Amino acid sequence: MIEAYRNSVRIWECDDMGHMNIQFYVDKATGALEVLSRRLGLPASDPGQAGPRLVVREHHIRFLREQLPGAPIVIHAGVLDTDGDQMRIYFEMRNPATEQVAATLVARTELADPERGVQPLPPELRERAEALRTELPEHGAPRGLELDPPRKPLTLREADEWGLLATYLTPLEPQLVDSQGYMFTRGYIGVISDSIPNFLSHMGNWDRSGSRIGGAALEYRVVYRQRARQGCVLALRTGLRHVGPKAYTFCHWLFDNDTGQAVASAEAVAVMFDLEARRAIAIPEERRGPLERLVVPGLSA
């Protein structure tokens, strides 16, 4: 693998849990993808120039250790495989001061041209990718999620018929939009993160802003179904797929509120988190019942 990113955790990248928010793990991996793309011989992502770019269609992410403000970050990247028109890329984020793995991300990508759509991977790109081949380590493999083929997209109407909860409704915010008017990749998972307090409000009016118990994501799968564009109103629907002794699995569907079409879907394994001890805890009994009542049988992303 090659070093593809080196930076640190800024305080404005941290959330009410006091650690780097999940969207910035994605944001830093997006920067690493740009560096890797140069090594593969692709042009810079200049919005003023046409040309093919590696576009992420799906992410699988494992969050292994929280990162606090000021922590140094380095990402190494390599190619897992090329299959047809797709390339799977592995990103490993470490804290170089401790040499501990902070997170792993696997991106399923396609080579796409803004004017011509998805393009086949050219032989010279495949040759360069072969020189960057790596294997997926055990700590980067799925643990709490099954990576089956994504299901047929739900519509907003179908999500409401399933009884999913409304957790977000906001016009696409300017800070989440790139120079071409499309939502940054980090924005999709950022919207989901921002929605969680509204989901928790359905659990006996739980407002975690005054609680010592927060939450932390352990694993995510995000499927990007279409690019959200400036002017779009985003609506999120959320349900639970499973509740275990300590962890529970969310399922989120993000829609264009005007068309009702799916923009993205995601599953996430999460735990409750003691903000003072900085560790995961078992689900308190008073929270288990409200969580279990929000399980939607057959739900998936």
Report the pLDDT averaged over residues 135-150. 95
The confidence score (pLDDT) of residue 168 equals: 97
What CA–CA distances, in Å, run from 294 to 183, 207, 211, 215, 297?
A: 30, 17, 21, 17, 10
212 token code pair: 């010592």
The confidence score (pLDDT) of residue 16 equals: 86
Whether the per-residue pLDDT at 116 is higher than 80: the answer is: no
Confidence of residue 275 (pLDDT cuts 50, 70, 90): confident
HSE value, Cβ hemisphere, 13 Å, CA-based, for 70: 0
In a 10 Å sphere around its CB, with 0-12 CB exposed, 13-18 middle and 19+ buried, how is residue 150 labelled?
Answer: middle
179: DSSP letter: T
Q: What's the N-to-C CA distance of the chain in angstroms?
A: 30
For 127, phi and psi rounded to 5 degrees?
-65, -45
Strands (E), the chain: 2-8, 53-63, 72-83, 86-95, 100-113, 117-119, 165-171, 213-224, 233-243, 247-256, 262-274, 279-281
Confidence of residue 214 (pLDDT cuts 50, 70, 90): confident
- Higher-confidence position of 203 and 217: 217
The confidence score (pLDDT) of residue 125 equals: 94
Whether the per-residue pLDDT at 177 is higher than 70: the answer is: yes
Whether the per-residue pLDDT at 276 is higher than 90: the answer is: no
- Cβ proximity of 31 and 192 under 8 Å: no
The confidence score (pLDDT) of residue 46 equals: 62
Confidence of residue 205 (pLDDT cuts 50, 70, 90): low
Report the pLDDT averaged over residues 278-289. 88
Whether the per-residue pLDDT at 33 is higher than 90: the answer is: yes
Q: Give the chain's domains with CATH numbers.
A: 1-141 (3.10.129.10), 145-301 (3.10.129.10)
In 3D, which of 281, 232, 236, 240 has the Cα closest to residue 258?
232
Q: Compute the distance between CA of residue 135 and CA of residue 120 in angstroms, rounded to an integer.
A: 23
Whether the per-residue pLDDT at 47 is higher than 60: the answer is: no
| pLDDT > 70 in the chain, percent | 95
196 token code pair: 């969680």
Whether the per-residue pLDDT at 236 is higher than 70: the answer is: yes
Whether the per-residue pLDDT at 207 is higher than 90: the answer is: no
Confidence of residue 48 (pLDDT cuts 50, 70, 90): low
The confidence score (pLDDT) of residue 39 equals: 95
Report the pLDDT averaged over residues 95-115. 93
The confidence score (pLDDT) of residue 50 equals: 62
What CA–CA distances, in Å, run from 124 to 4, 77, 131, 204?
A: 20, 19, 11, 57
- 136-142-146 Cα angle (round to 5): 135
Report the pLDDT averaged over residues 214-230. 94
**DSSP track, 118-170:** EEPPPHHHHHHHHTTB----GGGS-SS---PPPPPPPPHHHHHHTTPEEEEEE
**Mean pLDDT of all residues belonging to the chain:** 92
